[in-house]
Structures are given as C-alpha cells and as structure tokens.
Structure 1
Amino acid sequence: MSKTILRLTGITIAAAGLVGLTATAAGAHEASQIGGSYHLTIRDNDGERAAATLTCYPHGGSHPRPYEACAQLEAVGGNVTAMSEDPGPCTMMWDPVTVRSEGLWGNTYSTYEETFANQCVAVRETGGVLFDF
C-alpha cells in the first residue's frame, strides 16, 4: 500500500510540475507580446510635417512599416530613448525637425520628444524605423 501512495504522490508532483511549466511558458509568450499603441509626429519650423499611428499586437496603424517599428519598440520595452542608433550617412543640411511619440506600451504611458538637425538624423538616431514615414 505504501508503494501505491508513493507512486500516486510522484505522479501528482510530476503533473503539478508540468502544469507549472505550461503556465510559465504561456506567461513568457504573453509577456513577449505586450502590445503598444503610439501616435508619432514629425514637425519642422512650419508645423507638422508628418504623422502616423502605430499599434503592436496586433500590428497596424498608418505607419508604413508596423512590424519593424514594433520589433524595434519591443526590443527596448517601449522606451524610445533606449533605442540604438542606426548607423548610416546623413547630409549635414540644417533643417531641424522635432519628433514626438506619445502612447502606451503594456500599461506604461510614455512620451518622447527630441529635436534633430534634419529628418535623416532623426530617423537614424532613433533606430532607423520608428520615425521613418
């Protein structure tokens, strides 16, 4: 009888462990697809030059490259200031633009605004995709 109890206890523990692993895997999958929704603008001295919306999980909005822009945001947890610069050439032309993002990543609301020498520099210094519209 004690062998039967030990076997049942072992089976119960193993089953509980599998349930825990399944829940952890599902939680990790959900965490990797937190979603976001942003309003993006590019302004010059005369006012708004361009605007786009971006949603992640599901991907969409008016942004021309939503999958790439969402991947870029996902890599930094939605923190635009943490994006790595995209190396590449830009002209030295002085035509300042201010880029702004405003939105939600998961449950965190954020805004980002910065002025750059021109639109090419703005796109490159914010990772190459997010403000490329």
Structure 2
Amino acid sequence: MRRSTAMIACMAGTAVGLVALTAGPAAASEPHSLYSPSAVVLTVGQGESAATAAVERAVTLTCKPTAGGTHPDAKAACADLERAHGQPALTLNDDSGRVCPRIYAPVTVTADGVWEGRRVSYEQTFANNCVAHSRVSHLFDF
C-alpha cells in the first residue's frame, strides 16, 4: 500500500512537471491580441491652446476590436477615424453652411492616443463654440 501511494505521488509530480514544461513556451509564443491598439482621449476646452485651455469635456474612445469608451456615439466616431486613417484633422467638415457670430471666444479640441499602433496627437483651435460645432464630425460631438 505504501509503495503504490509513493508511486502515484511520483507519477502525479512527473505529470504536473511535464504539463508545466510544455505549456510555458507555447503560451509565451502566442500573440496577446489580433488587433493593434486604437484608443484616444478627446477633449474640448475654452482657450487658445491645449496648454492654456480649461477643459470642459473629455471622453475616451476605443475602436479596436470593438467601439467603446465613454464617447456617446463611439461607433460613429470610430467610423470617422477609420475613414480618415486615424488622422483627426481629416474628420472635420468644411461645408456645413452654418452662420456663426464673429465673437472671439476660442475653443480648442484635442485628440491624444494611439491609432493602429501609431501615436496620435492632434490640437485644433476654433474662433468660438459655434464655429467648432459647425466643423466637428462625430469624433468631437460629445
């Protein structure tokens, strides 16, 4: 009886050791994700530059593998960035036709993060809130 218990313990220890040895290298060589990271932090603030603007609103946007974050319309914002190849400047509208007052109260929008593994840093200042709303797409509509 004593001999069979010792034999079972030895076999169990050998089996655990073999599993640990074979599982280690396989797990290390597997990729962590099939998608490159795509996540940005978007802000809207009052001021002439990102350095001096008082941030009024800020949201997070994650696009890969699925749209998410705190952005209210993450799916549409991710679609805008996808069409613009991750360049926030290319998501702005030029022909909204909206008439805005000529009041100077600068509004600055920023986008900082990563798009498909590349660093993204963007800043744009508009003359006032009306002009900003006439130019922004879904990306900065929060």
Q: TM-score range by the shorter chain?
A: 0.5 to 0.7
Count residues in correspondence. Answer: 101
Checking the alignment, whether the CA contact within 8 Å between 1:116 and 1:122 is kept in structure 2 is yes
Q: In the alignment, which of 79, 84, 92 is matched to residue 76 of structure 1?
A: 84
Shift of 1:122: 2.2
The verdict on how the C-alpha distance between 1:62 and 1:120 changes in structure 2, with shifts beyond 3 A counting, is farther
Q: Residues 55-74 of structure 1 correspond to what in structure 2 (within 5 A)?
A: 55-57=62-64, 58-74=66-82
SS in 1 for 2:138: coil
SS in 2 for 1:77: coil
The verdict on how the C-alpha distance between 1:115 and 1:99 changes in structure 2, with shifts beyond 3 A counting, is same
Q: Residues 12-23 of structure 1 correspond to what in structure 2 (within 5 A)?
A: none
Q: Residues 18-57 of structure 1 correspond to what in structure 2 (within 5 A)?
A: 36-45=38-47, 47-57=54-64
Question: What do the CA deviations read for 1:72-130 (whole angstroms, capped 9, x no partner)?
Answer: 0000110112225162415224321111000111011110001101233224324x211
SS in 2 for 1:130: helix
Which residue does 1:10 correspond to in 2? none
Larger radius of gyration: 2
- The answer to whether 1:111 aligns with 2:118 is no
Percent identity of the aligned residues?
38
The letter for the 1-side match of 2:74 is P
Structure 2 unmatched ranges of 5 or more: 1-33, 48-52
Question: What do the CA deviations read for 1:28-86 (whole angstroms, capped 9, x no partner)?
Answer: xx8xx866200011110361111010011311111111010000000011011222516
With structure 1 as the length reference, what TM-score do the two structures score?
0.66
| Greater relative contact order (Cα < 8 A, sep 6+) | 2
Distance 1:36 1:88 in 2: 32
Structure 1 unmatched ranges of 5 or more: 1-29
SS in 1 for 2:67: coil
SS in 1 for 2:86: coil
